[in-house]
Structure 1
């Protein structure tokens, strides 16, 4: 689930400490790292569900071969999740996993684990530390999961689990992770990226964006410095 990285329309809760331009630059890094992560997972059919609908040219230009793009439609996040899920199930998918584009350091194994758990569960959720979720997967189209949810609140995961259970659907919870919405999240991200191994594949676009906006050194260097 992705947005076009337009200043003033993405990561606005990071302003301040960032400017709108810096927040959009950082989100573009998140988005590209999310796409890279999905590209490394075998045996899935990856999509980028984007908004606004007029951004089709932008997203067609950044996805690698093997990806498809799909416009989001709906008045709120619940409607958009519902419509994307229905569109993905309609060609005959046996499982659908939707993940955010705000968790650039999420390990790919969490997404692989989500598909595995859908072999035995109706719904799988990857909870965020703030009460939302970074991932939701299901074995069939289930619009009731997205109805009457106070999006952006600390009760999103809790209420989604209750909605599934009301309709006799089994739920499996993955390990918690975090998305980057606030200044505290941004500090956590900077610490995690700065402490990461000398591996160019790890959140490389996010690292570059953090460096360009002055939150990290321009390049990772090994060994001692004088």
Structure 2
């Protein structure tokens, strides 16, 4: 299946010691970076089966010309853009603000995303001003908006279990309707690795402990 809607992906370059740092005690710096790279490749495969390649932008961080970024851009004919300065909220707002029309934004560590779910999330924006996929850790794995507004992302303690709760408060303050088509999980903590290995054997091969 393939639709045609804007989709932004935020991703760090898979540099050992700089990515998936909470997994380093289990996988080692090289192993954590290798898993991050595999998750990003998986995310791009999902994205390219959900929407048109020209609608996908990979927003890069750490090393904007990393070989993996260049390889993915060449393989899928997607656009690369450097993430701007600022906190996560600033960067998400910038990515959403560059879209022509309503669109979605995701990270690179949520294997539960599928092309069908992405399409459902975009369809939800026909009735709601914002769509979120709440994550089990208290954050969210996807955000989509009909019209970007920086206030949605202001004064949020990113990386904490309160992200989703606080974001709901921002949505209420804006008077927006919210749609949450599903609940998801991401790969960020050691306890997520067993689920990844069981549910995604191909990605599980990256879990060699160093």
Q: What TM-score bracket applies, with the shorter chain setting the length?
A: 0.7 to 0.9
**Cα separation, 1, equivalents of 2:83 and 2:151:** 18
CA drift of 1:214 comes to: 5.6
Q: Larger RCO: Structure 1 or Structure 2 (Cα < 8 Å, ≥ 6 residues apart)?
A: 2
Q: Secondary structure at the match of 2:25?
A: coil
**Cα separation, 1, equivalents of 2:116 and 2:163:** 23
CA drift of 1:169 comes to: 1.0
Aligned to 1:61: 71
User: Are 2:36 and 1:22 aligned?
Assistant: no
User: Are 2:206 and 1:209 aligned?
Assistant: yes
CA drift of 1:60 comes to: 2.6
CA drift of 1:107 comes to: 2.1
CA drift of 1:106 comes to: 2.3
Among 22, 40, 49, the alignment partner of 1:13 is 22
CA RMSD of aligned residues (A): 1.8
Q: Which structure has the larger Rg?
A: 1
Trace 1:1-226 onto structure 2 (pairs within 5 A).
1-43=10-52, 45-52=55-62, 54-56=63-65, 58=67, 59-63=69-73, 64-88=75-99, 93-194=100-201, 204=202, 206-210=203-207, 213=208
Q: Is the 8 A contact 1:30 1:101 kept in 2?
A: yes
Superimposed CA distance per residue, residues 46-100 of structure 1 (whole angstroms, 9 cap, x where no aligned partner) = 1111113x42353132233341111111221111112222223xxxx11120011
Q: Is the 8 A contact 1:122 1:169 kept in 2?
A: yes
CA drift of 1:43 comes to: 4.9
Of 56-65 and 100-109, more deviation after overlay is shown by: 56-65
Q: Secondary structure at the match of 1:209?
A: coil
Of 33-42 and 4-13, more deviation after overlay is shown by: 33-42
Q: Is the 8 A contact 1:123 1:169 kept in 2?
A: yes
Superimposed CA distance per residue, residues 147-185 of structure 1 (whole angstroms, 9 cap, x where no aligned partner) = 101101111111111101101111111211100111101
**Cα separation, 1, equivalents of 2:95 and 2:178:** 20
Of 70-79 and 123-132, more deviation after overlay is shown by: 70-79
**Cα separation, 1, equivalents of 2:151 and 2:110:** 25
Structure 2: segments with no counterpart, 5+ residues: 1-9
If the length of structure 1 is used for normalisation, what is the TM-score? 0.82
Structure 1: segments with no counterpart, 5+ residues: 195-203, 216-226
